[in-house]
Amino acid sequence: MAGAGSSMLYSFLLFVVTLSLQEMYRAKLASSELLTILGGFTSSLIFLLLLTFIGNYQETCGIRTGWGTVIFAEAVALIAASTVHRVCITTCFLFSAGLLYEVNQLSGMMLSKSEPKAKRF
């Protein structure tokens, strides 16, 4: 399993690359309906990568902000989506909600596996 430092670095690098590629190809992403949906999906990946980066940064520093991290990462992703097309904002929000649900489910599974079972008397 990757440590918080390396995960933070990789997620930041992928965030920068994904955001740069989205901005480079924004005219292409806005050219058709299917590519507009793809633009929203790439923006939701930006949300996931930024959420991972901020979460690992907080873990390294020992601080927690709760939902503030999610709201900030979503705001950045929605702003990035708005530079491509208006429909990208909606699809980004929907894809991000789905990704956030799946990350929450994964986190719950991993947490339940790592906790030892309590003995019942």
Helix pair 33-61, 67-82: axis angle to 10 deg: 150
Chain-wide mean pLDDT for the chain? Answer: 91
The percent of residues in the chain predicted with pLDDT above 90, rounded, is 76
Higher pLDDT among residues 74 and 66, named by residue:
74
- Confirm if 96 and 102 have CB atoms less than 8 A apart: no
pLDDT for the residue 120: 60
Instruction: Work out the average pLDDT over 106-110.
Output: 89
